[in-house]
Structure formats: structure tokens, C-alpha cells
């Protein structure tokens, strides 16, 4: 390193210092600690006891824990519903909101709004909408001659949560909309002159240009859907009969209800590995379908 390089290095480090410290204390160390705890018997007890190394025992015990499999299955079921639904609905909405018609500013604002409001408030109002007896949704179903649905019952709760998540896709819609502005006009024009219909233009021009945005939303969607906790925590408390008991819920309960920090850390690590693996698969597959223009 030359004198100047060294000087710049120290200058750079000085500016980065807050983040470097924060990263170490609030991200890197917690992740390492979490890994260590996951191999320990560690309970928050009074008087305090240090974590006791027990090797793979937590993981072994997890394999025989029916709640582990139940919560994992529930989470996968939810992701399999909410992720594709959210991706399709937000893309469809973005295409509609991109049409050159009057009043789009109002439509866009309305569709964006639900994504802003606190989870606690949306959970509250949807509980009320989903109420079996007095809820608005069952009333509307009755209007069109359908029988009432137990929206938050054992069968219905999971699709109901996915439906709610579709209500909150506003910021994904905005990201798609911004992406749509970057699709070159000349290409769309050329395609039209060549006789391509609206559908053809969508699939052959617009969507290929949008693939980097679709990819971004896919990755964020995987991570978001896997870490869902607030809404079911408030609305269903994991029930009925553990039907909405998510992986994160299992983690939370073990940690803060039963104070089994070691066991909870093992759960957190499995979540991290699954999320990373899925993100990895997404990145790997990106080579085949994402076009960077």
C-alpha cells in the first residue's frame, strides 16, 4: 500500500466505523452465538447458568419433535400459497396500474396503502372481517347464496392468512411498476409494428425485461414469507389446533415462553439454512431465466 492508499483506508474505516461496530455486535456476533447456542443446553434461569455443550443433541431432539415437523410443514404450506399468489397478483396489478388511463394516481395510492399500515392494525381488522358470526365476509358470502366459512378455523386459517398477505403486496407492486418504466419503448413499438398482439408483447418483450425485478421480488418474497410471525401471533396464536403454528412461532415459544435458548437457536439455524438454500437455488436458477439488459 502506498502512503495515500493507507491514508484512504483509515479514512474509509473511520467513516464505516459505526456500521462495522454495529455489524459486529448486532449481526455477526449474534449469528455466531446462535450457532454456538444451538449445540448447547442453555436455559435462561435464575441464578444464571452458562451454556453447556451437548453437541448435536438439540438437532437430534428436533428430528423427533412432532411440533418441529408440524411447524415446518405449516410454514412450507404457507410459503407455497402466499409466495406465488403474491408474485402473480402484484405483477398483474402492476400491469393494470401501468396502463395509460386516467385516475391511475388514485388507483395506485389505494393499492399501495394497505402495505403501509402496521401489522397489528391489519391483523385486528381482518380478525373482525373474518369473524364467523358477525364478520363482513360471511355476510357477503351469504348475500351471494354461499354458506358461511370458518375463516380462521383449522382448515381455513392458512388460506385466510395468505389472502391477507395478498392485500399487503403494495410495495412489491410499486417495485414492478418502476421496473415497467424501464422497458424500452422502441422495442415495444417495433414489436407492435411487426404485428405482435398485446399478449405477445407482454411475454416476448415486457416480461423478459422485467426478469431482474421479478427475481428481486422472488428473493425478498422467500425471506419475508419464511419469517412471518406477527400476524399469526396476533390473530390465531398458532391455532386452532396448531394449524397456523409457524416455524418462527416455534422458535419464539421455545425461546421466550419456555426459555430454552439452545433449542430455540437450533430452530433459528434451521430456518436460516432453509432460507439461504432457497435463496441460493433462486440465484442459481437466475442464470437460466434472468436477463440483465
Partner 1 sequence: MTAKPKIGRIRNPWNALAIHAGLICICVGYLLPFLWMASTSLKTLEKTGEIPPRFIPHPWQPQNYVKIFTHPTFHAVLFTRNTIVIAILTVAGTTLSSAIVAYGFARIQFRGRGILFGIMLATIMIPFPVTMVPLFTIFRRLGDLTGMAWLGTFKPLWVPAWFGSAFSIFLLRQFFLTIPKDLSEAARIDGCGELGILFRVVLPLARPALAVVALFSFMVVWNDFLAPLVYLQRPEQFTLALGLDNFQSAVGGTPWHLLMAASVLVILPVVALFFLAQRTFIEGITTTGIKG
- CB–CB of 253/237 below 8 Å? no
Task: Kindly state whether residue 72 participates in binding partner 1, applying the rule CB under 8 A.
Answer: no
Among 248, 253, 278, 290, binds partner 1 (CB under 8 A): 248
Q: Report residue 143 as a C-alpha cell.
A: 348475500
Pick between residue 158 and residue 261 the one whose CB is nearest to partner 1: 261
DSSP structure class, residue 260: B
Task: Kindly state whether residue 245 participates in binding partner 1, applying the rule CB under 8 A.
Answer: no
Rounded distance, CA 243 to CA 228, Å?
14
Site for partner 1 in 170-189 (CB under 8 A): 171, 174-175, 178-179, 182, 185, 188-189
Strand partners, 260: 43
Among 107, 141, 153, 208, binds partner 1 (CB under 8 A): 107
Site for partner 1 in 3-32 (CB under 8 A): 5, 8-9, 11-16, 18-23, 25-27, 29-31
DSSP structure class, residue 183: S
Site for partner 1 in 269-288 (CB under 8 A): 269, 271-272, 275, 279
Rounded distance, CA 202 to CA 188, Å?
9
Pick between residue 138 and residue 243 the one whose CB is nearest to partner 1: 138
3-state secondary structure of 177: helix
Rounded distance, CA 79 to CA 54, Å?
33
Nearest distance in Å: CB 160, partner 1: 13
- If you compute the radius of gyration of the chain from its CA atoms, what whole number of angstroms results? 24
Residues contacting 14, CB < 8 A, separation 6+: none
Nearest distance in Å: CB 159, partner 1: 16
Among 33-41, 61-69, 77-85, 283-291, which window interacts with partner 1 (CB under 8 A)?
33-41
Task: Kindly state whether residue 154 participates in binding partner 1, applying the rule CB under 8 A.
Answer: no
Amino acid at each position: 500500500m502506498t502512503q495515500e492508499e493507507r491514508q484512504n483506508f483509515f479514512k474509509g474505516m473511520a467513516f464505516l466505523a459505526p456500521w462495522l461496530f454495529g455489524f459486529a455486535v448486532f449481526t455477526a456476533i449474534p449469528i455466531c452465538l446462535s450457532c454456538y447456542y444451538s449445540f448447547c443446553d442453555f436455559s435462561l434461569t435464575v441464578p444464571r447458568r452458562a451454556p453447556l455443550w451437548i453437541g448435536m443433541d438439540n438437532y437430534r431432539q428436533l428430528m423427533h419433535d412432532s411440533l418441529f415437523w408440524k411447524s415446518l410443514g405449516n410454514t412450507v404450506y404457507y410459503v407455497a400459497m402466499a409466495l406465488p399468489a403474491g408474485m402473480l397478483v402484484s405483477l398483474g396489478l402492476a400491469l393494470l396500474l401501468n396502463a395509460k388511463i386516467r385516475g391511475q394516481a388514485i388507483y395506485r395510492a389505494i393499492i399501495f396503502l394497505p402495505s403501509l399500515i402496521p401489522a397489528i392494525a391489519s391483523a385486528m381488522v381482518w380478525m373482525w372481517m373474518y369473524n364467523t358470526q358477525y364478520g363482513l365476509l360471511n355476510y357477503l358470502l351469504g348475500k351471494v347464496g354461499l354458506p358461511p366459512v370458518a375463516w380462521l378455523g383449522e382448515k381455513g386459517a392458512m388460506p385466510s392468512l395468505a389472502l391477507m398477505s395478498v392485500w399487503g403486496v403494495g410495495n412489491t407492486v410499486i417495485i414492478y411498476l418502476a421496473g415497467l418504466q424501464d422497458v424500452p419503448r422502441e422495442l415495444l413499438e417495433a414489436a407492435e409494428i411487426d404485428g405482435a398482439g398485446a399478449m405477445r408483447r407482454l411475454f416476448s418483450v415486457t416480461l423478459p425485461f422485467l426478469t431482474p425485478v421479478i427475481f428481486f421480488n422472488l428473493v425478498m418474497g422467500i425471506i419475508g414469507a419464511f419469517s412471518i410471525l406477527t400476524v399469526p401471533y396476533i390473530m390465531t396464536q398458532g391455532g386452532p389446533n396448531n394449524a397456523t403454528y409457524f416455524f418462527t412461532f416455534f422458535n419464539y415459544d421455545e425461546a421466550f415462553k419456555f426459555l430454552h435458548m439452545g433449542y430455540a437457536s437450533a430452530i433459528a439455524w434451521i430456518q436460516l439454512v432453509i432460507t439461504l438454500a432457497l435463496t441460493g437455488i433462486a440465484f442459481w436458477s437466475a442464470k437460466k431465466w434472468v436477463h440483465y439488459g
